[in-house]
């Protein structure tokens, strides 16, 4: 019989322990994952904060130690990974706790992935291309427990990490099914102390994930529904969390939206991410903030392909005016959150647009954009963002 339903491979996430105060369960979740001597990977800013000390106290009290690696750059690279692996091996660790935002979660995953692989395997050999992940020995990947302290990347429910090549300044998505954390512990109370600009940037990252997944042309109805509901949670709660950082209800909904966005983008990402990845790699900008800067221009770029779909989303979200109303709501959200108006305000220089265009076209996200990205229209899109 004839049909037009494509064959697709779908995968959904792991055990998620969600709720205020659940950081107190960290040691028991490590035990359930078979981890007796964890390496706690976090970033430099978080390392000295009370929420980190509290988490380490939970581990210490249970006899799991308090070994920490925090040399994590905002856009982590292979040098950070090598330093983390050295600490992991020297300490005889048997698992990784990834504690923090996307940078710490991604780097922690890379340490768990590469610490015990054969010497001739490079992390770049495991880029998310075809079946490259099969080059790794999955049995040698250490178990991972993820504890997000921001609400944006959703790396806590993903099977990949982003690593920047310090030589080429290109971000690469490194994939393996066993990079999915064994357990993810989502405690919204951990996000209360985020600086406002991080609340804004990570929240807009969650929106970008949901929006691009929703607009992706690939067939994945489950992701489609999750993306739509994730957008609703962002529009209704991000400005509340930004204005009142102690509002745990808004924080909880944003943490849910972040995880939902990362689950949803199994359906695909697009031009927002293919533009922001090279900008972040070259200029070291905050990823979510960069996504927010280019979001309206990418909506315009894709309009003829997504207008009907966005009109349906706007109706569900209670936004009047169809596509134009949705775009206006994005602009209002950006203004409320203090997002820079364009790439020039982020420090991007016009004389590097040709270079950035080539990098964007190499980024795997561009393959999920509703409008095919070419050298000409991508260069024009960058120019529109300036």
Find the CATH number of the domain harbouring 216. 1.20.1090.10
Average pLDDT over residues 231-249: 96
170 touches 133 (CB < 8 A): no
Q: How many domains is the chain partitioned into structurally?
A: 2
Q: Are residues 128 and 230 in the same domain?
A: no
Answer whether residue 271 is part of any domain: yes
Domain closes at, from 125, 158, 191: 191
- 121 has pLDDT over 90: yes
Answer whether residue 136 is part of any domain: yes
Comparing 14-18, 359-363, 376-380, the range with the smallest average pLDDT is 14-18
Q: Confidence band (pLDDT; 50, 70, 90) for 63?
A: very high
Q: Are residues 19 and 153 in the same domain?
A: yes
Answer whether residue 1 is part of any domain: no
The contacts of residue 377 (CB under 8 Å, 6+ apart) are 301, 371
Average pLDDT over residues 163-190: 93
Answer whether residue 140 is part of any domain: yes
- Structure-token match 């992940």, residue found: 133
Q: Are residues 77 and 44 in the same domain?
A: yes
Give the pLDDT of residue 14.
84
Answer whether residue 3 is part of any domain: no
Q: Are residues 176 and 229 in the same domain?
A: no
Q: Are residues 135 and 212 in the same domain?
A: no
Give the pLDDT of residue 12.
67
Mean pLDDT of the chain: 95
Strand ranges in the chain using DSSP code E only, listed in sequence order: 15-18, 38-41, 68-69, 95-100, 144-148, 160-165, 170-175, 183-186
Q: Are residues 186 and 267 in the same domain?
A: no
Domain range for 248 = 196-384
Q: Are residues 236 and 118 in the same domain?
A: no
379 touches 355 (CB < 8 A): no
In this predicted model, what pLDDT tens digit does every residue of 312-349 receive, in sequence order? 999 999 999 999 999 999 999 999 999 999 999 999 99
Give the pLDDT of residue 15.
87
Average pLDDT over residues 111-140: 96
Task: For the chain, give the percent of residues with pLDDT over 90.
Answer: 91
Q: Are residues 231 and 174 in the same domain?
A: no
Domain closes at, from 146, 162, 191: 191
Q: Are residues 220 and 366 in the same domain?
A: yes
Give the pLDDT of residue 10.
62
Q: Confidence band (pLDDT; 50, 70, 90) for 93?
A: very high
Q: Which SS3 state, helix, strand or coil, does residue 363 take? A: coil
pTM, 2 dp: 0.92
Q: Are residues 90 and 30 in the same domain?
A: yes
Looking up residue 21, the CATH number of its domain turns out to be 3.40.50.1970
Domain closes at, from 149, 172, 191: 191
In this predicted model, what pLDDT tens digit does every residue of 260-285 receive, in sequence order? 999 999 899 999 999 999 999 899 99
Report in angstroms the alpha-carbon separations of 242 from 199, 237, 332, 360, 382. Answer: 6, 9, 14, 31, 29
């Amino acid at each position: 019989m004839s049909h037009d339903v494509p064959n697709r491979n779908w995968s959904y996430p792991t055990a998620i322990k969600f709720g205020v105060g659940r950081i107190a369960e960290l040691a028991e979740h490590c035990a359930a994952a078979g981890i007796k001597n964890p390496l706690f990977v976090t970033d430099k800013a978080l390392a000295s904060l009370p929420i980190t000390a509290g988490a380490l106290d939970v581990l210490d009290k249970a006899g799991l130690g308090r070994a920490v690696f925090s040399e994590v750059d905002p856009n982590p690279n292979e040098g950070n990974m090598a330093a983390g692996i050295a600490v992991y091996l020297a300490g005889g660790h048997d698992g990784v706790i990834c504690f923090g935002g996307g940078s710490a979660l991604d780097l922690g995953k890379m340490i768990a992935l590469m610490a015990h692989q054969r010497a001739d395997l490079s992390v770049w050999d495991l880029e998310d291309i075809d079946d490259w992940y099969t080059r790794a020995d999955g049995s040698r990947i250490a178990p991972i427990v993820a504890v997000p302290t921001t609400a944006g990347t959703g790396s806590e429910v993903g099977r990949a990490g982003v690593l920047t090549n310090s030589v080429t300044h290109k971000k690469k998505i490194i994939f393996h099914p066993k990079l999915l954390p064994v357990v993810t512990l989502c405690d919204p109370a951990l996000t209360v102390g985020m600086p406002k600009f991080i609340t804004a940037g990570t929240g807009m990252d969650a929106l970008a994930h949901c929006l691009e997944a929703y607009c992706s042309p690939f067939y994945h109805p489950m992701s489609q529904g999750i993306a739509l509901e994730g957008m609703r949670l962002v529009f209704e709660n991000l400005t509340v969390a930004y204005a009142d950082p102690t509002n745990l209800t808004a924080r909880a909904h944003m943490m849910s939206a972040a995880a939902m966005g990362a689950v949803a983008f199994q359906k695909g990402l697009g031009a927002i991410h293919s533009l922001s990845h090279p900008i972040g790699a070259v200029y070291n900008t905050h990823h979510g903030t960069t996504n927010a800067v280019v979001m309206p221009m990418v909506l315009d770029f894709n309009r003829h392909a997504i207008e009907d779909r966005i009109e349906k989303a706007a109706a569900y979200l209670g936004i009047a005016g169809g596509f134009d109303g949705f775009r206006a709501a994005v602009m209002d959200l950006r203004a409320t959150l203090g997002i820079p108006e364009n790439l020039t305000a982020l420090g991007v220089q016009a004389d590097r647009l040709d270079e950035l265009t080539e990098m964007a076209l190499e980024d795997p996200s561009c393959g999920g954009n509703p409008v095919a990205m070419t050298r000409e229209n991508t260069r024009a899109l960058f120019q529109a963002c300036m």
